[in-house]
Amino acid sequence: MSVTTTGRVRLARPQDRIAPPSPPRRWWRDLAGSAAILSVVAVVALWLAGGGVTDLRGVGEPATTLGRLTGLAGSDLLLLQVLLMARIPAVERAYGQDLLARRHRVIGFLSFWLMLAHVVLITVGYAQSEPASVLGEGWSLVVTYPGMLLAAAGTLLLILVVVLSVRAARRRQRYETWHLLHLYAYLGVGLALPHQLWTGADFTASPMARLYWWGLYGATLASVLAFRVALPLWRSAYHRLRVGTVVAEAPGVVSVYLRGHRLDRLPVRAGQFFLWRFLDGPGWSRAHPYTLSAAPGRDLLRITVKELGDGSARVRHLRPGTRVLIEGPYGALTADRSTARRPLLIAAGVGITTMRALLDDLGPAGTGATLLYRIRTHAETVFRAELDDLARRYGVRVVYLEGSRPRHGSWLPARYSRGDDTAALRWLVPDVAEREAYLCGPPPWMAAVRTSLRAAGVPDDLIHAEEFAW
């Protein structure tokens, strides 16, 4: 056991904290979104230019033509969803990881159904033109056309990933299992797409189409290798992070203090998270998302972890000197979003880690801030001494919402939620409509808080929240 309860490491003083990186340029968001839309337009335009609808009179031609179009659109969206999760830093910071993950999920399902439609329509069209049975034609396509056997294997892998990504299936999986299985999507994409370059009429007959598709495939592969592999390896090697000490904060909650080389060159802000791999033995390859729980210092980072599974339980037993690999930083729940309004921070459970770091980064700009901290019992409170210190230094008003689980659907403890949640929120924060809000906690809880904030008059664009979407 390496957890300590005494000799707490001193956090970085304000003058020792690293200068935050410049905020993301807002035009990145517009540029990335426009590029995604234009890519679909370009696919349809290239298809039309190649004579996609010139002849629909032949037997089987309508199904074959529609099958080619759905295949092209599905391929484009399949590559776009990979790019969405390629961790391109400028795009990541402009959108936020949770929004990218939600769009990745929507586009992923859409591309999957388009690819299935492509398979069915092409098979039916070819069968009608032979003529032959649909099953017989499908078998013939797989075993005789170049690349089709690989495409069939890739399609099966994508079906597996999609089935396991349905919410009902995800709830039954550990994060580690889902993350590992989800990597097979990359293999599925790699196997499913090349047959189009080898045999697709829309590729072989048009130099412009070949240039576009090879360019898109190349950009996607380069982005994944650069930002999911090379950049994390380089940052891990350069900053040489190691575990300094592990400190107990509350029952089942520990903080890990990490030392490293030139952390002032790490482009991270309070409120962001990394994917962490602790090289402490078997299982090190499985990454876990943990948010910084204090503003980063020049040679010190801190994360705070609650035991929720096998991976997080191992953190308690980390030994000083354990090497660490990092991937990130990710997330957009930072002080970059701050406006002239006074902040209202609302956290539940271990979600206090993000709010604690944000208070560091807001500093004097957070003067007049209010923190609502939802806990079940006094013993579960994390960072009470630090929050009290912030209250003294910056005038942060801290309200501990302590109590048992309330009625269904309420985000407040039972003693506060006897009436209307919005009325209770206005009583706790009378000027709530004049503030901007930051939320961190379980997704259903945050959804209930967001409903109360809207009803209390806080505009949607001033309610900031982020969740680990998986």
Tokens of 30: 């517009």
What gap in Å lies between CA 465 and CA 443, rounded to an integer?
A: 10
Tokens of 132: 């032959």
Order of strands across the sheet that contains 324-330: 288-291, 273-278, 324-330
Angle at 185 between CA 182 and CA 187, to 5 degrees: 125
- DSSP designation for 226: I
CB 324 within 8 A of CB 278: yes
Query: What are the pLDDT digits (tens) for 301-314?
Result: 999 998 876 667 78
What gap in Å lies between CA 464 and CA 466, rounded to an integer?
A: 7
Order of strands across the sheet that contains 435-440: 397-402, 370-375, 342-348, 435-440, 463-465
CA Rg, the chain, in Å? Answer: 26
Query: What are the pLDDT digits (tens) for 54-65?
Result: 656 666 677 777
**Can you give the length of the chain in residues?**
470
Q: State the chain's mean pLDDT as an integer.
A: 80
**CA–CA distance from 221 to each of 121, 215, 228, 240, 347 (Å)?**
29, 10, 10, 27, 38
What gap in Å lies between CA 80 and CA 376, rounded to an integer?
A: 43
For the chain, which ranges sit under pLDDT 70? 1-30, 52-60, 134, 137-139, 141-143, 145-147, 149, 164-184, 188, 192-194, 196-205, 309-311, 363-367, 406-407, 417-418, 468-470
What gap in Å lies between CA 369 and CA 88, rounded to an integer?
A: 33
| pLDDT score, position 179 | 65
Cα 93 to chain centroid, rounded = 11
| pLDDT score, position 389 | 86
CB 256 within 8 A of CB 294: no
**Cis peptide leading into 329, omega within 30 of 0?**
yes
| pLDDT score, position 372 | 94
Point out which residues pair with 436 in neighbouring strands. 343
Write the CB contacts of 163 (distance below 8 Å, at least 6 apart in sequence): 169
**Would the pTM count as exceeding 0.85?**
no
Q: How many CB atoms lie within 10 A of CB 418?
A: 11
| pLDDT score, position 74 | 85
